[in-house]
Every structure is written in structure tokens, then in C-alpha cells.
């Protein structure tokens, strides 16, 4: 048998993603005497970081108030409340700056490295881990864990065709949404909330939006079941996307999964306009003598609706002038604008960011230390937990926060 990693370790981190790296670096910086090992099953570390944010890595979000920050997490917000008082986006910014990476804030408060390159983030994490003496083994999968009654764990690790034994005093599971590791976590006594996708676009086939790919509306309000979200929306080749849709997909991740991604979506193209107010504006347009002989299709009543979309939303009226529209048609138009019904036929992929909701039950973890309340010496960080945020840097932030807390606790012998 190879003598590769047969040594005993103080800390083994399963998963070479942002949560695992952040924890390992923090732990090593606090306690340089510890022997720390990161196991990464794929052939490169920090794979998701490298492809994140469209290759730019949306590191965090410029929201520095923990009470507000937690409102961006459909799952896990409450558990993160205290954690964010210990390590929040401001600390992330400082951490990266102290380690030589400056971040910038964009108009929508998303924060990126000034290089606009995700590689900058992966490089600094790899560099700092090495610098702090953390050992990293790629192509190495944690495949079994056995608790030792006197303390610590016996691990079974696979590298290629070899299966290697390994022992550690403490174990951090930071394996993201990996399904096989979830089984290991279950075997250690933990409950797993059923994983389902979050952050996706809606497939909608409807003649009102047909051929309008690329058309954006600055502020719509979307309703689905009891859920409501407002914000920009983008029409795509396959249906609907943009921040309002992604937020709704995150909050509705479980409902939509249960409904097999079929549901009715109500769209208010005018944001928060009420039916009566809209009807009044439409009536005024009709009464306006200058408008009487102008086509409804080419003379929009609302500047916030792009003309091509307006044309398709008003198509049911036909080629009429404003002066010729009936009361019933005016009302139907107001309904169309404030409560248009669209059928969601499936989910599409949001390429810039996607996450899994579900994971380790949060009641079973102490959020001061990220230690398991069930199995001693076992810790968790990152997406393996039942935490997920909306798009905008919130998912990495929960990895930085939980990784930092775990790393701090792991450093205490
Ligand atoms: C395309 C894309 C873009 C994204 N963009 C953003 C963004 O810009 N901003 C943002 O906030 N979030 C973004 N996210 C979400 C973000 O990437 C995740 O929330 C984050 O990576 C979670 O970090 P993690 O360390 O918990 O897990 P991961 O990054 O998934 O890392 C876990 C690691 O563990 C390894 N592993 C799994 N099982 C084992 C095992 N048994 N043994 C050893 N290793 C194992 C995996 O190979 C992986 O490398 C994006 C996600 C995707 C998919």
C-alpha cells in the first residue's frame, strides 16, 4: 500500500471549495502547529469559484447589516444571524484586502475582484493555504468515515484505484452539494433536508413574449402561490429570467420542485401599479383627443414597458385607435398589464450562478463553532448545510462565514 497520506492528521477538511479553503487557512493561521489536510475529489481545487459569476466571481454583497443580510437567504437566514455578527461581508472585504485582493462594488451592490477574474480569488486561496502549511490532495475522495470512541475519526480515502486509511482528530465536511458525501453525513447521525435546485429561470412558451428575447423590464412584480417578488425581468429565448425570476425561483424552490416545475405565474408589468390606477391612466389616454386617432399598438400608455412588448401585450385588441377602444377592452388591458397570467412549463438554467437548497439540518449544528451537535469533533461549512441565498454573492458569503467560524473553532485543540 502506498504510504501516501497514511499519517495522522489534526484536521482533515473534506472538500477543496471556498468553504473548505477558508476554514483550513483560518485554522492554520491561528494554530500553525496543526497538521491540516484538504481532500479534493476532482483534479482541481476551487472549481466552482473559477466558473462563478460568469468567470468574474461575485465574492460577496455590499450589505453590512446582519439583520438585513439574512433576508437574502430563503433557507438558513435565522441560523446565520449570529454568525454574521462574527464574520460578515465587511470582514470578507477586509480579509481579501489584507491578503492582497481588492474588491469593487457594482451598481447593484454585488462585489467582484477589481481584476474581474475569478482566477484571482482561486489563486489567493490556493496561495494562502500553501503559505500557511495546509496540505492539499487533489483527485482524492473521502468515501467512508468511522468515529473512534476515544475521539477522532478513521477515514477511508480513495485516490484512483487505491483505497487509503487515514486518521484525524477533527473532521470538517465542506463537500458542497455532493450527494455521496451526504450519505456519509447521514451515517454520522445527521438528518439531511432533501436537496433540490434553487436559482433557475422559468420556461414559458407564450405568444405575448414570443420573439422578444433580450427585452427587459426594469421593475415587474411576480406572484406565484403565496410568493411575491419584484425587480427587473428579462425575456429570453426559453421564457423568463432576470433578478425577479431568480429570486422567486429561490424562495419557491421547494414548491416548484413539488409541482414538477409547472405553475401559474402572475406578472404585473408595471411593478406595483394597482388595477384601478392603471385603468384610470388607460382611460385618460383614451379621452385625450390628441390620441384618438393614434394606434394603441404604437402609442404606449406606460414608458416603462418597451414598445415591442407593449405591441404584443395589446395584440388582443387588434389594430384599433385609442379613441375606438371599448370599456371592456380597456379593463382587459389593465388586467393584462397588472396581472397577466403565464404558465411556467419547466425550469431553465441560470448560467452565472446556481445552488442547491437542502443539506445538513441546521438545528443539528452549533453556529458559533459550526460543530455538529450530534457527533463530537465533526464540523460543517458551506453548501453542504441547508443554507442558500439568492443570487448576488450571498452564497459565497455563507461559505466564507461558516468556513471562517469552523476554522476558528478547529484551531482550538
Ligand atoms: C456556475 C456557478 C456560478 C456561481 N457563481 C456564484 C457567484 O458568483 N457568487 C456566489 O455567491 N455564489 C456563486 N455560486 C454558488 C457557489 O459556487 C457555491 O455556493 C459555493 O461554491 C459553495 O462552496 P462550498 O465550498 O460549500 O462547496 P463547493 O464549491 O461545491 O466545493 C465543494 C468541493 O468538495 C469536493 N468534494 C465533494 N465531495 C467530496 C468528497 N467526498 N471528497 C473530497 N472532495 C469532495 C467537490 O469536488 C468540490 O470541489 C455559483 C455556483 C455555480 C454552479
Ligand 1 close to Cβ of residue 138 (< 6 A): no
pLDDT digits (tens, 9 = 90+) for 49-63: 999 999 999 999 999
* Mutate-to-test residue for ligand 1 from 175, 198, 392, 403, highest number of ligand atoms within 8 A of CB: 175
Ligand 1: does its nearest atom lie under 6 Å from the Cβ of 48?
A: yes
Is 142's C-beta closer than 6 angstroms to any atom of ligand 1?
yes
* Segment among 34-43, 62-71, 291-300 with least mean pLDDT: 291-300
Q: Which atom of ligand 1 is nearest to the CA of 388?
A: 19
Residue 98 C-alpha to ligand 1 middle, in angstroms?
Answer: 24
pLDDT value of position 3: 46
Q: How far apart are CA 383 and CA 354, in angstroms?
A: 11
Q: How confident is the model at residue 312 (pLDDT cuts 50, 70, 90)?
A: very high
| CA–CA dist 371, 96 (Å, integer) | 25
Decide: 176 in ligand 1 pocket, CB within 6 A: yes
> What are the distances in angstroms from CA 21 to CA 32, 173, 400?
15, 11, 9
Nearest CA to ligand 1 atom 13: 353
Q: Nearest-CA neighbor of 177 among 196, 200, 190?
A: 196
Number of other residues whose CB lies within 10 A of the CB of residue 97: 11
Distance (Å) from CA 19 to ligand 1 centroid: 8
Please say if the pLDDT value at position 337 is more than 50. yes
Any atom of ligand 1 within 6 Å of the Cβ of 159: no
Ligand 1 atom nearest to CA at 382: 26
**Could you identify the atom of ligand 1 that is nearest to the CA of residue 389?**
11
Does residue 388 line the site of ligand 1, with CB under 6 A?
no
Stretch 214-221: mean pLDDT, rounded?
Answer: 98
Sign for the pseudo-dihedral over CA of 235, 236, 240, 242: negative
The DSSP result for 292-344, as a single string, is: TTSBTTTS-S-TTS-HHHHHHHTGGG-S-BGGG--HHHHHHHHHHHHHEEEEE
Q: Which atom of ligand 1 is nearest to the CA of 395?
A: 11
C-alpha gyration radius of the chain = 26
DSSP state string for 17-33: SHHHHHHHHHHHHH-TT
pLDDT the model gives residue 4: 52
Q: What is the rounded average pLDDT of the residues 373-383?
A: 97
**pLDDT grade for 2, boundaries at 50, 70 and 90:** very low
pLDDT at residue 290, as a whole number: 82
Q: Which has the higher per-residue pLDDT, 372 or 7?
A: 372
Residue 138 CA to ligand 1 center (angstroms) comes to: 15
> Would you tell me how many other CB atoms lie within 10 Å of the CB of residue 108?
11
Ordered structural domains, the chain, with CATH: 8-197+352-410 (3.50.50.60), 200-349 (no CATH)
Q: What is the 49 CA–ligand 1 centroid distance (Å)? A: 7
Tell me how far apart the alpha carbons of residues 40 and 141 are, in angstroms, rounded to a whole number. Answer: 6
Mean per-residue pLDDT of the chain: 96
Task: Please give the average per-residue pLDDT across 25-54, as a whole number.
Answer: 97
Amino acid at each position: 500500500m502506498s504510504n501516501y497520506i497514511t499519517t495522522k492528521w489534526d484536521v482533515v477538511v473534506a472538500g477543496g471549495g471556498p468553504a473548505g479553503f477558508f476554514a483550513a487557512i483560518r485554522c492554520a493561521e491561528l494554530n500553525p502547529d496543526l497538521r491540516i489536510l484538504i481532500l479534493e475529489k476532482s483534479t482541481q481545487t476551487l472549481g466552482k469559484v473559477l466558473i462563478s459569476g460568469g468567470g468574474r466571481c461575485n465574492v460577496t454583497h455590499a450589505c453590512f447589516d446582519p439583520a438585513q443580510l439574512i433576508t437574502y437567504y430563503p433557507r438558513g437566514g435565522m441560523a446565520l444571524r449570529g454568525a454574521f455578527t462574527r464574520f460578515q461581508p465587511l470582514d470578507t472585504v477586509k480579509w481579501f484586502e489584507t491578503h492582497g485582493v481588492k474588491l469593487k462594488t457594482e451598481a447593484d451592490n454585488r462585489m467582484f475582484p477589481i481584476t474581474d477574474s475569478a482566477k484571482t480569488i482561486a489563486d489567493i486561496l490556493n496561495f494562502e493555504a500553501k503559505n500557511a502549511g495546509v496540505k492539499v490532495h487533489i483527485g482524492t475522495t473521502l468515501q467512508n468515515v468511522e468515529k473512534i470512541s476515544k475521539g477522532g475519526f478513521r477515514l477511508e480515502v480513495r485516490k484512483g484505484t487505491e483505497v487509503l486509511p487515514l486518521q484525524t482528530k477533527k473532521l470538517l465536511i465542506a463537500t458542497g452539494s455532493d450527494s455521496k458525501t451526504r450519505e456519509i453525513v447521514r451515517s454520522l447521525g445527521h438528518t439531511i433536508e432533501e436537496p433540490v435546485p434553487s436559482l433557475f429561470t422559468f420556461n414559458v412558451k407564450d405568444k405575448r413574449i414570443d420573439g422578444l428575447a433580450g427585452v427587459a423590464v426594469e421593475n415587474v412584480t411576480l406572484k406565484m402561490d403565496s410568493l411575491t417578488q419584484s425587480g427587473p425581468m428579462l425575456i429570453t429565448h426559453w421564457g423568463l429570467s432576470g433578478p425577479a425570476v431568480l429570486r422567486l425561483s429561490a424562495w419557491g424552490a421547494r414548491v416548484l420542485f413539488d409541482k414538477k416545475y409547472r405553475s401559474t405565474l402572475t406578472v404585473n408589468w408595471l411593478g406595483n401599479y394597482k388595477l384601478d390606477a392603471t385603468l384610470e391612466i388607460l382611460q385618460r389616454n383614451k379621452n385625450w383627443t390628441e390620441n384618438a386617432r393614434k394606434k394603441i399598438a404604437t402609442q404606449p400608455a406606460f414608458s416603462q414597458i418597451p414598445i415591442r412588448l407593449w405591441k404584443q401585450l395589446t395584440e388582443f385588441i387588434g389594430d384599433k385607435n385609442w379613441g375606438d377602444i371599448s370599456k371592456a377592452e380597456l379593463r382587459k388591458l389593465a388586467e393584462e398589464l397588472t396581472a397577466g397570467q403565464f404558465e411556467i412549463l419547466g425550469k431553465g438554467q441560470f448560467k452565472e450562478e446556481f445552488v442547491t437548497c437542502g443539506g445538513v439540518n441546521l438545528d443539528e449544528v452549533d453556529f458559533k463553532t459550526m460543530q455538529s451537535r450530534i457527533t463530537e469533533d465533526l464540523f460543517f461549512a458551506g453548501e453542504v448545510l441547508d443554507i442558500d441565498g439568492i443570487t448576488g454573492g450571498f452564497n459565497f458569503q455563507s461559505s466564507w462565514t461558516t468556513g471562517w467560524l469552523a476554522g476558528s473553532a478547529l484551531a482550538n485543540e
